Structure 1
């Protein structure tokens, strides 16, 4: 059984290594720049320059690994708390200064939340939007609850709550690093990386599920890792699994696609079973899934109860998969991007979910047949679809929050001025270094240096990658997986830094020893 677990882990690591070689090469070669109205433009980069920055970063991590051993654990924990508070302050400061407006899906979710909080059903009932996307009512119900607790339906209330989620995300990520490695240098590296990752602050302005969902799923991962510790009493593990269910339920209610994390946990638990014959996690994950499905259904029913109207299942998800296989008529938007296919097909089917799904399946079969006749076109399509999502370094964060009402000067500069150019350049380099670290992370798994729950971030990341192959193409959908892999990336970068420092130390020690031997030989010669 252990051999089977090792083989499965190595296969996963080999796939991850290949994926990261692909992303690393292209993210170092050039970058995708996202401009209005969601056009992707290619900008050249330098593989040599990125490699040089990578070597310097690894060397710095190596130097840190030696210094940080002397720092007590409580000092890093205090730094994590201060970092989380700083992230919250920065997020709230940006929210207050930007005056970001809600558009498209954001607008409908926010307005529904306001209506539900105020008990005004008429506005929601007048919108066709919720008949097409009824699952959005669950998210609207969460925001309505926040409005009720705050006693205000101002947009800024949600944005400030999401800024708090950014701080919690930073702290929980720090705790995940501690679970994965316990390295002080890795913990510090993670804190610095998360604080500098600008999309976390930008998405605080985005009235949708990204901030709350990402924060919740990271909390679930932390609790999952603690539940899988070898030590611990039964009641403690029970509480931890309950926390996993709670946080995964909230994550799934805000972003359906975060079901990927639950699937990754199941795969991880099967690997745990094969290695240690501990089966208790699998029934617990079944309970977690039940909580996720029940939680989302309950939220939607609560909203429908207030509206006194029962919505159907809405547009079937297969429409998004079919849309993700199509060329966009506007070539600058890239293949697989949004083109109104899901909406048009559902409306043409007369709001009939079954008929719309059949149309989508027919279009998928037609597309697959076309690709079978021309495999080169299929590879070209898939490559470009992946690149516009994975090598766009802002992950849509600036583009999705660009509509602002009288922003302060520094915010305007950050979004459209010289500060924006500097931010894009930094995020481009940041992305290249994260991909380098993740490549190293999969390499460690492949070489057998990581085992057990240490490989969970890698399973989640691969799940996110494969979802972006199937779904509508948008770099925003990649954002949660970057946040979730940062703890693993920090551990990996610290590990290779330590290796480099150790190698340099051994070389330097060898040179010194050689000189000392020669000196002794000379002294012996003189004495003789």
Structure 2
């Protein structure tokens, strides 16, 4: 065996080992989330006067609903498999078109009827955009809002463009654009699944689950970058997958554009970009082609240069220096604090510490590091307390079925009267009903995600290869989970990763249905319609 072959074998073993580590970590995460989601749920505050509470769930009911949906998935699959390929594609395309039309109509109607008006970070960022158009850059001064929260400049420049076209503080175009981003998310996810999976039922079910993702609908009026970053995050996944399959450079251009726009909208998109870097490492080990390294570099460089370009633009226009904001380490310190019995929630610690040290970054950062060191010592001395702290923190973020959608959008235009439907949604029976539905939706999502990971694990164990891009969203989800443990606790921050999980839910439902149909009483359900070229387990597209 020559030296080149030995190096190849070593690369393949390292690639396989890294995938195994990722798989074990992701499985542990999903087992934890699935268990908690079925056992209880976090009921977030809506009216601003009460704290969120943890409520118990009927575990058996959640599992029963999951099984029922899995069997329905198998039923739909059975019908589809009786048709030829062209008919299957027509049905999938019709599902996509109908879903997109419904999403557009429902989304536009909702954002036009909901009189949401931004507060807090949203109004400060958009006000900064309007002031900059008039040549007022005072918010960039050291100690000013954007001077402290430098990450807001990316979203601000996008709003400057929007306000130039439609007028200052005109938020309706942004809300309608959020509907467009929602539809783009559906289209990109559909394309991602078409590239990486073999069964048409996956794409159909993805469309249905995206349409049934109520928190995403309720976030559409929200004047911030969350919806945009979610949408272009999934577009990034599609671009990377399309490039892996075709090698055509236009898909890297698409992925790079999506990465740049998403990171301007929300700084936490860097978690997705770290996932891209890990993907590049994996694909380089497996395929040993420099073009993947160059493609990954182009995506990451575009994102970094986009942020840098915005810094330079504002620095030149205003005369104020960039990079003078609150050190990120202070958010980590805040994420380790307990405030009024709640773990890691926002309490203005980072801003107060920064101003206490006269906005001197090094001194403020040193204080944050010292606090973290002391806090970690407390955790090491009392492991039980540490376990409860992080358990409560994760529960408040990941087990809130609405992901704080109504809590985040509960601020309305002055003098606006809510319609009876919106009144019931925010404060009445409709809101409680939808919360119950999303509670089951969340359990289905997590359990299906767990089963999809198990399927990937089986293929990994058998050393059967699937497109490496299929792992990319999982890397981002796991990175988001780690981020949520360290950062400020807010359910809105973990919502993007839950949307990414929808890409895997159809696979998990199908595999669960397949297992259920192997039970003696359900074997008749397994007759024709469940086999394809590669047999019953042909669901994830395998590669040579």
TM-score, normalised relative to structure 1: 0.90
What is the aligned counterpart of 1:386 among 374, 390, 394? 394
Q: 1:63, 1:501 within 8 Å by CA — same for their partners in 2?
A: no
Q: 1:460, 1:481 within 8 Å by CA — same for their partners in 2?
A: yes
Q: 2:240, 2:469 within 8 Å by CA — same for their partners in 1?
A: no
Residue 335, structure 1, aligned to residue 343, structure 2: yes
Q: Distance in 1 between matches of 2:20 and 2:171?
A: 47
Show CA shifts across 1:19-68 (max 9, x none): 11111111111100111437220111011111111111111111111112
Aligned ranges 1:62-461 → 2 under 5 Å:
62-69=74-81, 70=83, 71-116=87-132, 118-121=133-136, 124=139, 128-151=144-167, 153-229=169-245, 231-232=246-247, 236=248, 238-328=249-339, 330-331=340-341, 334-405=342-413, 406=416, 407-448=418-459, 451=466, 452-461=468-477
CA root-mean-square deviation: 2.2
Q: Distance in 1 between matches of 2:193 and 2:78?
A: 18
Show CA shifts across 1:268-309 (max 9, x none): 222222223233212321222221111012123323444443
Q: 1:9, 1:445 within 8 Å by CA — same for their partners in 2?
A: no
Q: Distance in 1 between matches of 2:459 and 2:190?
A: 24
Q: Distance in 2 between matches of 1:295 and 1:206?
A: 24
Q: Secondary structure at the match of 2:501?
A: helix
Gaps in structure 1 of 5+ consecutive residues: 512-528
Cα distance, 1:218 vs structure 2? 0.9
Gaps in structure 2 of 5+ consecutive residues: 1-10, 528-544
Q: 1:113, 1:141 within 8 Å by CA — same for their partners in 2?
A: yes
Q: Distance in 2 between matches of 1:476 and 1:73?
A: 35
Q: Distance in 1 between matches of 2:195 and 2:19?
A: 19
Show CA shifts across 1:463-520 (max 9, x none): 1111111111111111110111211122222233244446669833999xxxxxxxxx
What is the aligned counterpart of 1:10 among 20, 25, 29? 20
Q: Distance in 2 between matches of 1:397 and 1:77?
A: 30
Show CA shifts across 1:206-234 (max 9, x none): 111101111111111100001111x44xx
Q: Secondary structure at the match of 1:32?
A: strand
Residue 43, structure 1, aligned to residue 55, structure 2: yes
Call closer, same or farther: CA 1:510–1:375 in 2, change over 3 Å.
closer
Cα distance, 1:86 vs structure 2? 2.1
Cα distance, 1:4 vs structure 2? 2.7
Query: How many correspondences in the alignment?
Result: 502
Structure with larger Rg: 1
Q: Distance in 1 between matches of 2:232 and 2:470?
A: 20
Q: Secondary structure at the match of 2:504?
A: helix
Q: Secondary structure at the match of 2:44?
A: strand
Q: Distance in 2 between matches of 1:300 and 1:162?
A: 25
The match for 1:59 is: 71
Call closer, same or farther: CA 1:506–1:472 in 2, change over 3 Å.
closer
Q: Distance in 2 between matches of 1:428 and 1:398?
A: 14
Q: 1:213, 1:251 within 8 Å by CA — same for their partners in 2?
A: yes
Cα distance, 1:124 vs structure 2? 4.2
